[in-house]
Structures are given as C-alpha cells and as structure tokens.
Amino acid sequence: MPLSTSTRVRRRIAGTALIGALSLIATACPAGASAHEVVVAATASGLNVLETPETRQSCTQPDVVQAFAGLGDEREYVLAPGGSFESKDLDGWQILRAKSDSDGSPLEIDDADNKRSLKIPPGGSAISPAMCVDLHYPTLRLMAKAAKEGGLRVDVMYPDSADPTFLPVGTLSASKDSGWQASADLPVFPERGGAAPGMRRVALRFTSVAADGGAGEWKIDDVYVDPRRL
C-alpha cells in the first residue's frame, strides 16, 4: 500500500554546537576507494568502514528532516551517508553480495527521487559509511522489504571506541512479498562510543540471515538516525 506524501522540514544544526570533542582521523585511501574516502576501521572479514564527505557533514552540519512525517512520525532525522541509495556507485558502502536495485521505497520527502534501494540476498551484508551521532541520537529507522522469508540483522560499530566491533541492536522480520514497510525504532546505543558528551562516529551493518526456517532476502532504503535532543 503506497505511503502518503510527507512534507520536508529542513534545518541545519550549527556545527559549533555539535562538534564537541570529536577528532576525525584520516588514514590512507584503500585500494579501489575514491580519493575522498578514508578508512576508519576494518572488520574481521576484511571489509573496511569508510568515511566520506557526507560523514564529515553529519559531524558539523547535519541535514535534519521529518523523513517519516507521512507515516505519522513527526520526529526529525538525519540520513545515513548514502542511505537513500540513489547513487548506483554506493559511495562509501562496503558490501558483500549486495547490490543496487531499481525498486525504491514509496517513502516521499518533497520532490526527492526515491527510485533505488539496496538488495541484500541470503548471506549478504552491507556496511554503511561512518556518520556522527551524539548521546541524544538514540535510534535509527529505515524502510525495508522482504523478498524471501528470513531476518535482517542490524548491528552498530563505534570505530573510535575501545572495542570497535559490530554489536547487534535488533533483527527485522516480515512475511515474503509483504511490501515496503517502515521499521520500528532500533536502538543505536551511542553510549557505546563513550560516555563523554559530543559527537562520535558510528557505522551500521545490515545482514540478511536465516530466521524461522527462511534464508532471507531483503531490500533496504531510506536509512535515518533520529537526533532527538533534550
């Protein structure tokens, strides 16, 4: 069922109020990466967590929108870097067996294109570029569509923490061919990036997993983090 059109409410948060004690550390450009991408962490399987210009914007001037207002959720959100998947090159995303797909979610924000998504087949995964959050960014939300029975596991990693490993925050489930749906809130646990106030980088991982006897195949789109401030 098509989702109703939402109205975009956009504002930028002053960078000086958000930067806090964050120190961005640039490293060498990995083989195959573009010149504006830098590695901030590496997974045990050898996939890198990258940062891009959108990462750095999320640390200083995040673009805040009411992304899910058409669904009755009037909270403000910040898009994960490349989290609309409109660019076929998936800038900054590290993928395993996943690929760009022409089936975009029906979520509408102004007149922005929403023609593409990311398809994650059984056993596939996708790691987002890093983005900045602080202790007042408690949750994330996304659009998802199950093509086969199974689960979509969501993990977070804080690459600048003392223990930069992916930790699970939840698993989505849906019946086959149930269509595009907005996820419930998934916790981001920003305190895992440190207890001190200020920004810290986080990367998100989405993995199609076997669940309830199914192998799992998913499409994801419109990945947003909720910067709920006090």
Could you report the per-residue pLDDT of 189-216, keeping only the tens digit for each? 999 999 999 999 999 999 999 876 667 8
Which residue type occupies 140? Answer: L
Report yes or no: 19 and 64 within 8 Å, Cβ to Cβ.
no
From residue 82, alpha-carbon distances to 111, 118, 173 in Å are: 17, 11, 24
Query: Among 9-23, 85-99, 120-134, which stretch is predicted with the lowest mean pLDDT?
Result: 9-23
Q: What CA–CA distance (Å, rounded) separates 208 from 155?
A: 12
Alpha-carbon 229 to chain mean position:
19
Taking alpha carbons only, the member of 176, 66, 65, 85 closest to residue 129 is 85
Residue 162, pLDDT score: 87
Domains parsed from the chain with CATH numbers: 11-226 (2.60.120.260)
pLDDT of 175 reads 81
